[in-house]
Amino acid sequence: MFLGKRVFGTSTAILLAVAIAMFAWSSMAAAESEESGVELQNYFSNAQITVAGNALVNITAPFEGDATAPNNAVKVGETCAMIYVFDTSQAMEECCGCPVTADGLLTLSITNNLADFPVGDAAAGINSLTDGSIRILASEPVTDLAYFGDSIPPWVNCDLSRSVCCDPAGSYNGFVRNVLDPYNELTAWGQHIQDTQTTETEFEVAPADLSDFSGLPVACAGLTSAGSGAGACTCPIETPTSGVIAKSK
């Protein structure tokens, strides 16, 4: 009887170990299924429609920094999320650059941060940007802050604690305009308001096209050069994470 109990206990332990291993593998597979890349894209819907709620875009930098690097930005894996917002006719309406660290989560409101002041509606004083698409480029931060002079443009956002800025109109250490350097990778997912429910999809990794790292900044520079204040999306402060991001279904 005692031997039978021992055999049953051993079998149960083996089955339990297998189950735990399978659960760990499935969790690992789910985490690894999230795509990261230097260029991401997704759509948005029903911005500005307050009764439908407020959809969000979340961005993370999945790769750790280099703790031995002399540069503070490199230590924390800081990457620029260069964000370009388009209407349904694929005309760029807003752009901005946001710093993202490897241990941070950047959460943006589509209505309040990304589609708040589109250039197409600036003259009319209205906002009709409700549906469109978002493209994100993972780019190297600007480390020569003297490039910006006495003032930082509204479409440029900085992490002054590490002396880096993100300029979606394109600059590299203040020497080259309208060109971005691909740098690290980013992961993002966005919510979509659809009638009575909100869904969420991961940003797709777009085929690598280096021409976008010049073409999109050129379009952004033209968009923001009017000086009206329109066309500049905004970046909230990122929040720290524990390495596991909870996502809604």
| Lowest pLDDT segment from 16-30, 43-57, 187-201 | 16-30
Q: Is 80 exposed, middle or buried (0-12, 13-18, 19+ CB in 10 A)?
A: buried
**What value does the mean pLDDT take over residues 174-201?**
83
| Lowest pLDDT segment from 46-50, 72-76, 170-174 | 170-174
Token couple for 116: 């708040």
Q: Which pLDDT value is given to residue 153? A: 84
Q: Which pLDDT value is given to residue 225? A: 79
Residues written for the chain: 249
Q: Which pLDDT value is given to residue 72? A: 67
The answer to pTM > 0.75 is yes
Token couple for 37: 């890349």
Return the closest-CA partner of residue 169 out of 73, 87, 78, 94.
94
pLDDT top residue among 10 and 204: 204
Place of tokens 């241990």: 103
pLDDT top residue among 78 and 74: 78
Q: Which pLDDT value is given to residue 176? A: 56
How many Å separate Cα 214 from the centre of its chain?
Answer: 19
Using the predicted structure, report yes or no on whether residue 82 has a pLDDT greater than 70: yes
**What value does the mean pLDDT take over residues 172-198?**
80
Using the predicted structure, report yes or no on whether residue 101 has a pLDDT greater than 60: yes
What gap in Å lies between CA 89 and CA 71, rounded to an integer? 41
- In tens, the pLDDT along 121-174 reads 766 567 788 999 999 999 988 877 766 666 788 899 988 888 888 999 987 555
- In tens, the pLDDT along 16-33 reads 343 433 333 333 333 345
% helix / strand / coil in the chain, to the nearest 5? 25, 30, 45
Who contacts 155 (Cβ-Cβ below 8 Å, separation ≥6)? Answer: 95, 96, 97, 167, 168, 169, 220, 224, 231, 232, 233
Q: Which pLDDT value is given to residue 8? A: 38
Q: Would you list the domain boundaries of the chain?
A: 1-33, 34-240
Per the prediction, the chain carries an average pLDDT of: 77
Q: Which pLDDT value is given to residue 89? A: 94
What gap in Å lies between CA 106 and CA 239, rounded to an integer? 6
What gap in Å lies between CA 201 and CA 249, rounded to an integer? 9
| Lowest pLDDT segment from 22-26, 47-51, 61-65, 92-96 | 22-26
What gap in Å lies between CA 80 and CA 39, rounded to an integer? 12
Three-state DSSP state, 133: strand
Q: Identity (one letter) of the amino acid at 202?
A: E
pLDDT level of residue 38 (50, 70, 90 thresholds): very high
Q: Which pLDDT value is given to residue 148? A: 64
Which phi and psi (to 5°) does residue 91 adopt?
Answer: -90, 130
Using the predicted structure, report yes or no on whether residue 245 has a pLDDT greater than 90: no
Token couple for 74: 């490199």
